[in-house]
Structures are given as structure tokens and as C-alpha cells.
Amino acid sequence: MQPAKRQQQVRSIATRERLIQAALDEIFEVGYHAATTQEIAARAMVSRGALLHHFPARVDIVLAAMEELLEDGTRQIKAVADDVQAGLVSLEGFVEFLWQLFSGRFFYLSLEMITEARNDPALCERMIPVVKHFHQALDGIWIAFCDPAKRPPQQARIILNLTLCLVRGMGIQTVLRPEPGYYRELIEAWKALLPQIVDGPAGDIMFAVPSSPAVSGTARKRL
């Protein structure tokens, strides 16, 4: 490849990355609907024509931003999970990390775009594979997270996804209930419970519940 063409490709990649970061910054600062392509281009310090060259439609840059956001979140989660396995971070520290991740910029950006997808079928259809890839990557991390001699893969996924659901739900609550002490109590309680679920009898009790969704005949009569 000729040097001039290689430099052009490098500049093109750099411009695309700058636009994606500008989109994330703009959406986080002003919200999904107020984040116009004009403002994203201005923030990235490129022309609108350059933005349209890389992202012909607004949905294209939104999807690229979501993909970058989730890939970065996956990298962060895997790095801390690896540290837990190496004994450098405790389970309690892992819970604290997840709470910080899902009560800050990463979570609120993803929430902006997921909420929008709920009422935009075309955006939703294109976003589902991106989010599915994120969850598949997480499932791989969770399987490696627990000792297979103590917890089979299915149980590992359930335990860690329960943790994610907890911090996500709390993250949403922070919007209208800005009470740090309330969330701190819940996080500290889960820090105490999680090691027991992963390693101790509490986990055995938890998974003693039948996994089948079928309702017993007696229970059906009550219903």
C-alpha cells in the first residue's frame, strides 16, 4: 500500500473514532433527542460532510456508539473479573466495581439508547444483535468467573446476572431517588451475600428450587 493511501486510511479511522466518542459525549451531556448530528460533528471538530461519509444516517452513528460503549464495558468487566480470579480483587470489590459502572456514565448512556429503541422498531431491530453480543460476552466471563467444581456454568451465569440486574435496577432508581445511603445499604448487603452464594451453603439452597416453570397441581388450584 502506498504511504499516502495508508495515511489517508489512518486519518479516516481516527475521524471515525473521534465521531463515535463525540456522539457518546453529546448523548451523555444533552440526552438522546437533543444530540444532533450537527452538534456531534462540531464536537468532533469535523465537517458535517465528513460525518455523513462515515455515518450516512443518524441511526448509524448511534449504533456505532452503542457498540463501542458495550465493547468498552465488556473490557472493563473482564479485566476486573480476571483480577478476582487472580486474587487481586475480592468478590466484594467486584460488586463495588459493578455498582460504580452501572450507576455512572456507562449505564446512563446505554439507558438513553435502550429507552429510545423501545419506541423505534427500526432502531430496536438493529440494536438487538449489538446487545446480544454484549450479553454473550458477559456469559463467557461469568462461566470463567466461578470455580466449575463448585458452580456449573448455568449457575455461574445466574449468580452474576442476578448481580447485574440488582445494580441496573438500582441505577435506574438513582434518577428519581438520589439517596446514596439507601443504595449503600443494599450494596453492602449484597457484598455479604454474594460470597456465600458463590462458595457456600446459601448457593445450594438457592439452586435447590426447581428450575422448571411448571406450576404444581395444588398451586394451580390455588390460582
pLDDT tens, residue by residue, 57-110? 999 999 999 999 999 999 999 999 999 989 999 999 999 999 999 999 999 999
The CATH number covering residue 47 comes to 1.10.10.60
Higher local confidence (pLDDT), 161 or 144: 161
Residue 198 maps to a domain: yes
User: Grid coordinates representing 43?
Assistant: 464536537
Model pTM above 0.75: yes
pLDDT for position 143: 85
Q: Are residues 95 and 183 in the same domain?
A: yes
Nearest C-alpha neighbor of 209 from the set 164, 167, 162: 162
On average, the pLDDT of the chain sits at 89
| CB 61, CB 37: distance < 8 Å | yes
Q: Are residues 146 and 182 in the same domain?
A: yes
Q: Is 19 exposed, middle or buried (0-12, 13-18, 19+ CB in 10 A)?
A: buried
Res 1 pLDDT > 90: no
Q: Are residues 199 and 164 in the same domain?
A: yes
Please compute the mean of the pLDDT values over residues 127-135 and round it to a whole number. Answer: 95
Q: Are residues 31 and 99 in the same domain?
A: no
Last residue of a domain, one of 56, 73, 96: 56
Q: Are residues 71 and 26 in the same domain?
A: no
Which residue is associated with the grid cell 449505564? 107
Q: Are residues 89 and 44 in the same domain?
A: no
Q: Are residues 51 and 68 in the same domain?
A: no
Distance CA 204, CA 199 (A): 9
In the chain, the number of structural domains is 2
Q: Are residues 114 and 49 in the same domain?
A: no
Q: Are residues 101 and 6 in the same domain?
A: no
Residue 33 maps to a domain: yes
pLDDT for position 201: 66
Res 26 pLDDT > 70: yes
| CB 184, CB 132: distance < 8 Å | no
Q: Are residues 73 and 153 in the same domain?
A: yes
Residue 221 maps to a domain: no
With a pLDDT cut of 90, the percent of the chain lying above it is: 73
User: Grid coordinates representing 17?
Assistant: 473514532
Q: Are residues 78 and 118 in the same domain?
A: yes
Q: What would the pLDDT profile of 31-56 be if each residue is shown by its tens digit? A: 999 999 999 999 999 999 999 999 99
pLDDT for position 219: 41
Nearest C-alpha neighbor of 40 from the set 13, 32, 113: 32
Residue 201 maps to a domain: yes
Q: Are residues 178 and 148 in the same domain?
A: yes
> Residue 20: which domain range?
1-56
